[in-house]
Amino acid sequence: MVQHNFKSITVVPNGKDLIDIILSRTQRQTPTVVHRGNAIATIRTFYIRKVKFTQENFCEKLSTMIGQFPRLDGIHPFYGDLLHVLYNKDHYKLALGQINTAQKIITKIGVDYERLLKYGDSQYRLKCLKVAALGRMCTVIKRISSSLAYLEQVRQHMARLPSIDPTAKTILICGYPNVGKSSFINKITRADVDVQPYAFTTKSLFLGHTDYKHLTYQVIDAPGILDRPFEDRNIIEMCSITALAHLRASSILFFLDISGACGYSIAQQANLFHSIKSLFMNKPLIIVCNKTDLQPLASISEEDMKLVMEMKAEAFKTVVGQGGEPTDDDSVLLTMSTLTGEGVIAVKDAACERLLNQRVEMKMKSNKISGCLNRLHVATPKQRDQKERPPCIPPAILEAKAKQPAADKEKRKTEKDMENENGGAGVYSMNLRKNYILANDGWKEDILPEILDGHNVYDFMDPDIPHKVEELTWEEGTRQAEAEDGNFEIEGTELTPKQQAALAELRKRKSFLIQQHRMKKRTAGSRPTVARKHDKDKQYTSTRMGRQLSSLGLDTTLAIKRMRSRSVFRRGRKRGRSLETRSTDGGDRMDIDGDKPSKKQRLSRSLSRGRSVPRLPIEVVPGEGFKDSAQKSKARELAKKSVKKRNKDARRGEADRVIPSLKPKHLFSGKRSIGKTERR
């Protein structure tokens, strides 16, 4: 099978991540320390190894990228043109070309600096050459960052493409948008293509598989095509054109919506058929009239019927032109309805049979069949006598089948069958009460049961509920009308003119305060916060409130006393006071009504109100299980030490510049003498 597994392409890192990966690998896998007493030749080898290792790693990464991405000239033309439609072949080749050029430049940089490092005469010059070499390599990678990002986007899109085999037996569905192509592939395969009542729901190729005569056929749902010039078609339509042009071993199903529910007339669909009929050459073609549940084929107008007959004649000419047998021309025009399922299996079987016959005829015409016929021998058994031997069924099986009740022989109707009969999913609602076990089957559909928990439900219902609801509604409407007219009442008594004036003044004042508060909220961002002691206006004091309410003729003594008691309570909470009312024996009772405590009581309360001291981390709390503070301190240190390594390894990745051991033994120990090497 000629398949291209685009999902196996590895992730393409961006420029910064690629630099971090290579430099981190160089740091980890090459020596990192030069000793003071080393000879200049050893130091040259040290830095040459660094440069060469970095250059080889860069080239290895870049060559892997180039090798994994497919060459458009070396794959099947279907995939080549599909990738050109989706990503633009020129941009794709240019990005791969830049990666290849960067690989060659890095190789040249490594060779040049390796030559220069051979003639370095000091450690300082060798280190400068090494830094310059690695820097130039990283600069090359930074310049191709845009190409790396483009290839990563292409890789992600290619991984989502379906695995279509261009040489396998294929049924290709095409036509205008919203004519029922996706519904058909969902019916005959296990594909789950989104179906919506608007055009261009399918924006790419979708693949499904079906079986016919023990053979597997792949079914491709192509996006809709519009009748317009070739150069005006978009990427979605070009995917369908590419599949029609390059999938040779395919049977074409051209869908025709004769009801007009798709938004396009039969004349427009006929024009599309004639404009792309050149793509149907050498392929079995069937015209499928869909949505016959909305309008049968026989009920369309004469003009539309004439267009359909012309399309049928063209399809029949295509069959005869391919060298096939001129069968009944009704086989190239079929009707079906994907909603009711009528004719769906017949269309699938006809497409598979036509494709199978065509492939058999092509193989019979080829030269390979002659070699196969020489090796085949069909054995036919000869009849030894004239006695007839009909098939024998054991009598026990016949008796068991006869005793089987008729109800078991019939297929039981399931909820799925009832759903299909009554409009399908979203229309049919399953009755959950039909399987209730009740004394009377007539109770199953009752909205409210007659008997509940042994009581008659009707005994607890008030028959005057509708009348009372109407009275409440009328009363509410009357109150709203009176409120709009300004006739205020308090407990059934109308307000006096003086009270009405006072109420109007209060409402006016309330409206003013609301507007003032909203203005403050709007300007809160630019207005500085002023402490309460600097509020010269003193707008919200109890004295001012009492003065304003007294001017309206109201007694404010109780309100002011309540307000002051609340302020005392809040200040006490802020300072950590306790307002618990103790017994008279304790002598520490604060009367909220305004009685001041004695001097002795105030002194004792101030002494008991000391500031709380924070507990130290190593202080032992009863119940923790520690003997003393030293034991708790030691346990805390051991806990920190146990999680230190896990915290360091928690987020370590390939690109992290990590030195596992700050002082490795083989770099900080002397030369081994002759003797034991157990340490190794």
Instruction: Give residue-wise pLDDT tens across range 211-225.
Output: 988 889 999 988 888
Q: Is the distance from CB of 175 to CB of 224 less than 8 angstroms? A: yes
The mean per-residue pLDDT over the stretch 488-511 comes to 79
The mean per-residue pLDDT over the stretch 296-325 comes to 78
Q: Is the distance from CB of 329 to CB of 312 less than 8 angstroms? A: yes
Reported as a pLDDT band with limits 50, 70 and 90, residue 114 is very high
Highest average pLDDT, of 206-215, 441-450, 479-488, comes from: 206-215
Between helices 266-275 and 302-321, what is the axis angle to 10°? 20
Listed in order, the ranges of the chain carrying CATH 1.20.120.1190 are 6-158
pLDDT confidence of residue 339: 87
pLDDT confidence of residue 577: 44
pLDDT tens track for 453-463: 777 777 777 77
pLDDT tens track for 392-417: 888 888 888 787 766 555 677 888 88
pLDDT tens track for 175-204: 888 888 888 998 888 888 888 877 788 888
The mean per-residue pLDDT over the stretch 14-24 comes to 92
The mean per-residue pLDDT over the stretch 478-495 comes to 65
Q: What does the alpha-carbon distance between residue 298 and residue 273 come to, in Å, rounded to a whole number?
A: 21
Q: What does the alpha-carbon distance between residue 140 and residue 475 come to, in Å, rounded to a whole number?
A: 85
Checking if the pLDDT of 102 tops 90, the result is: yes
Lowest-pLDDT choice from 258-272, 325-339, 613-627: 325-339
pLDDT confidence of residue 161: 83
Checking if the pLDDT of 529 tops 80, the result is: no
Q: What does the alpha-carbon distance between residue 181 and residue 202 come to, in Å, rounded to a whole number?
A: 9
**Site of tokens 């101030």:** 606
The mean per-residue pLDDT over the stretch 522-543 comes to 66
Highest average pLDDT, of 204-213, 433-442, 571-580, 645-654, comes from: 204-213
The mean per-residue pLDDT over the stretch 203-210 comes to 87
Lowest-pLDDT choice from 423-432, 507-516, 555-564, 599-608: 599-608
Reported as a pLDDT band with limits 50, 70 and 90, residue 2 is very low
pLDDT confidence of residue 671: 63
The mean per-residue pLDDT over the stretch 594-598 comes to 56
Reported as a pLDDT band with limits 50, 70 and 90, residue 422 is confident
Q: What does the alpha-carbon distance between residue 505 and residue 498 come to, in Å, rounded to a whole number?
A: 11
pLDDT confidence of residue 605: 55
Checking if the pLDDT of 329 tops 80, the result is: no
Non-local (6+) Cβ contacts of 311 within 8 A are 254, 256, 270, 273, 274, 287, 333
Nearest to 285 by CA among 205, 338, 354: 354
Q: Which amino acid is at 520?
A: K
Lowest-pLDDT choice from 42-51, 256-265, 488-497: 488-497
C-alpha separations of 124 from 23, 33, 109, 133, 568 in Å: 21, 14, 20, 14, 78
Q: What does the alpha-carbon distance between residue 360 and residue 51 come to, in Å, rounded to a whole number?
A: 63
pLDDT confidence of residue 410: 66
Q: What does the alpha-carbon distance between residue 632 and residue 614 come to, in Å, rounded to a whole number?
A: 17
Copy the structure tokens of residue 531: 């402490």
C-alpha separations of 335 from 196, 309, 332, 356, 650 in Å: 22, 13, 10, 21, 63
pLDDT confidence of residue 406: 62
Predicted TM-score (pTM) of this structure: 0.51
pLDDT tens track for 333-360: 889 998 888 888 999 999 999 888 888 8
Angle, CA 223 vertex, CA 222 and CA 229 arms, to 5°? 110
Checking if the pLDDT of 676 tops 90, the result is: no
C-alpha separations of 395 from 66, 399, 401, 402 in Å: 72, 6, 10, 11
Domain covering 163-365 in this structure, CATH number: 3.40.50.300
Listed in order, the ranges of the chain carrying CATH 3.40.50.300 are 163-365
Radius of gyration of the chain (CA): 45
Reported as a pLDDT band with limits 50, 70 and 90, residue 311 is confident
Q: Is the distance from CB of 634 to CB of 618 less than 8 angstroms? A: no
C-alpha separations of 397 from 278, 393, 400, 417 in Å: 59, 7, 5, 31
Q: What does the alpha-carbon distance between residue 42 and residue 36 come to, in Å, rounded to a whole number?
A: 11
pLDDT confidence of residue 4: 65
Copy the structure tokens of residue 268: 């427009």
Q: Which amino acid is at 238?
A: M
Q: Are strands 215-221 and 206-212 parallel, antiparallel or unpaired?
A: antiparallel
Checking if the pLDDT of 585 tops 50, the result is: no
CATH architecture of 6-158: Up-down Bundle (1.20)
Q: Which amino acid is at 535?
A: D
Reported as a pLDDT band with limits 50, 70 and 90, residue 96 is very high
The mean per-residue pLDDT over the stretch 644-659 comes to 71
Lowest-pLDDT choice from 476-480, 495-499, 566-570: 566-570
Checking if the pLDDT of 575 tops 90, the result is: no
pLDDT confidence of residue 79: 84
Q: What does the alpha-carbon distance between residue 105 and residue 91 come to, in Å, rounded to a whole number?
A: 21
